[in-house]
Amino acid sequence: MRMTVDTAALFRQAELRAEGLVGLLRMLAVLALALSFALAVRDHSAPKGSDLLARQVFNAGTMMAGYFILGALAWWGYRRDWLRIWMIWPAAAADCLFFLYGVWMSMENTALPGSHAFIFPAVWLAPLVLAFGVLRFNPGIQAFIATLTVGGLTLLISLPAGEGFTPRSGTASVFLSFPPNIMRVAMLALAGAVLVVAAVRTRRLLLRSITETQNVTNLTRYLPGQLAPRLAAGGLDELRRGRWHEAGVLFIDLRGFTHLSQGMTADELSAFATEYRRRVTTVARVRGGILDKFMGDAAMIVFEEGKDAPAAAAACIDCAFDLCATIAEWSARRVAAGASPLRAGIGLHWGAVFSGVVGTRDRLEYSVFGDTVNTAARLEEETKRLQADILASCDILRIAGRDKDGAPWDLAAETTLRGRDGVLRLRGLRCR
C-alpha cells in the first residue's frame, strides 16, 4: 500500500508523538528504578575498607541521571515542537548505549568477566529498551534497537576479567559460561525479531486505517455526511448499486427570489445565498435529514426510514416546521433592517424512492429518484395555488402517526397532481 504525502505527514506526527511518550516513560522508569535501587542498598553494607558499593552507587546514579535527562529532552522537545524525525534515531541508540554502558561500568568496577554480564541489574533494561521501540511502530528503528542490543551484549559477554579476578568452580559457574550467555543473547534476539514483525504489522494496520479513513473523507466531500457509515460499511460500490426503500422527501423554495435577486449587488447576492443555505443546512442536520442538493434557491432534503419509519416521517414534518420558523425569523430581521420580507413554500411526501451514488470518483453525487420525489416537488409548487407555506401529504402524516390530530394544520385539501393518478389528500399550514 503506497503512502501519500498526507499519509506520510500523519505518520511523522504520530512518530513524534510516540517519541514524546517514550521520553515521558523514560523519566518514569528512572524514578521507579531509583526508588528500587534506594531500597535495595539502604540496608546493604560493604566489607570494611571497600569502596565497591560507593562506586556502584555512583555509576548507577550517573547512568540514571543521564537517562532521565534524555527522557526529559525528548518529552520537552515534543512539547516545544522542536523534536524532529531524525532525532529519534540517536535517541534510540542512546537507549541501548545507556544500559550497555551501565553493564560495562559494573564489570569494570567489580573486575568480573563478560561471562558475568547477566548478573548485573543494568542488563535487564534491555527488554525495556526493546519495548520502547514498539511504541514507535517503525520497523527500521525496532530492528536498529535490536541489532545494537544484541551486538552490544555479544561484545560484552566476550570481554575478559579484570585484574584480581579469581575464577571459581561449581554449579553456578556452569550457568555463567559462554554457551548459556549466548543462549540468553539469542533469546533477546528472537524477542527483537518478533517485535520487528509486530512493528511491521502495526504500521501496515495503521496505514490501512489512515488510507481508508482518508478515502471515506475524500468521498464525503462530495457526498452527504450521513452516508459515511454506509460508505465505511459497504464501500462505494454498494452505494453505486443503489437501493429501493421508503423515505420522506421535502422540497423548499423561496418565493419571488428572481425578482428579489435583481435588486442585489453581486456581494449582496452571494451573502444572501450563503445565509439561506446555511440556515437550510443547519435545520436539515439537526433533524437528521440528508441534504440531497441545492438548485438555486430550492433545496431537496431526504429522510431515510432506516429502522424506524415513523421517526423518519416525524423528523421530515418537524424539519418543515423548523424551516418555516427560521425563514420567518430571518424575514423579520430583514424587515427590521429595511429589506423586503421573505416567504418559502415547502412540500413533503412519503413513499418509495430509489437512492444511490452516481458520477465518477472525482465528482460523485448522491441522487434520489422516483414518484415520491416528483410528488414532493409538485406539492411545493401547489403551495402557491393554495396560498400555504407548508403542504404535507396525508401519507407522511399517517406514517408519522400525526393524521388523527388536526393541529397545527389549518388547511385541508385534495389535489390531482400532473403525471400522477388518483387524488392526493393534503394538510397545509400558513406560517405566521
Boundaries of domain holding 248:
225-429
What is the model's pLDDT at position 49?
Answer: 45
Q: Do 182 and 160 fall within a single domain?
A: yes
353: three-class secondary structure by DSSP? strand
Q: Do 182 and 244 fall within a single domain?
A: no
Q: Do 340 and 407 fall within a single domain?
A: yes
Residue 386 has pLDDT above 80, yes or no: yes
Most trustworthy range by pLDDT among 83-87, 269-273, 345-349, 413-417:
345-349
Q: Do 398 and 273 fall within a single domain?
A: yes
Last residue of a domain, one of 201, 218, 235: 218
Model pTM? 0.55
Residue 354 has pLDDT above 70, yes or no: yes
- If one counts every other C-beta atom within 10 angstroms of the C-beta of residue 244, the result is 12
Residue-wise pLDDT for 303-342, tens only, equals 987 778 999 999 999 999 999 999 999 999 999 998 888 9
Residue-wise pLDDT for 99-124, tens only, equals 888 888 888 887 788 888 888 877 88
Say what percent of the chain tops pLDDT 90.
26
Last residue of a domain, one of 199, 218, 237: 218
Residue-wise pLDDT for 170-182, tens only, equals 566 666 777 788 8
287: three-class secondary structure by DSSP? helix
What is the model's pLDDT at position 236?
Answer: 60
Q: What is the CA radius of gyration of the chain?
A: 37
Q: Do 230 and 203 fall within a single domain?
A: no
Q: Do 230 and 319 fall within a single domain?
A: yes
Is the Cβ–Cβ distance between 309 and 399 less than 8 Å? yes
Q: Do 194 and 260 fall within a single domain?
A: no
Q: Do 310 and 161 fall within a single domain?
A: no
* Mean pLDDT computed over 395-414: 84
What is the model's pLDDT at position 165?
Answer: 63
Last residue of a domain, one of 203, 218, 233: 218
Residue 417 has pLDDT above 60, yes or no: yes
| CATH number of the CATH domain containing 242 | 3.30.70.1230
Among 90-99, 171-180, 342-351, 409-418, the range scoring the smallest mean pLDDT is: 171-180
Q: What is the distance of C-alpha 49 from the center of its chain?
A: 63
Q: Do 383 and 329 fall within a single domain?
A: yes
What is the model's pLDDT at position 254?
Answer: 92
- How many structural domains comprise the chain? 2
Torsions phi, psi for 131 (to 5 deg): -65, -40
Residue-wise pLDDT for 53-69, tens only, equals 677 777 777 888 888 88
Q: Do 394 and 338 fall within a single domain?
A: yes
Q: Do 202 and 281 fall within a single domain?
A: no
Q: Do 82 and 178 fall within a single domain?
A: yes
Whole-number Å distance between alpha carbons of 283 and 327: 11
Residue-wise pLDDT for 370-385, tens only, equals 999 999 999 999 999 8
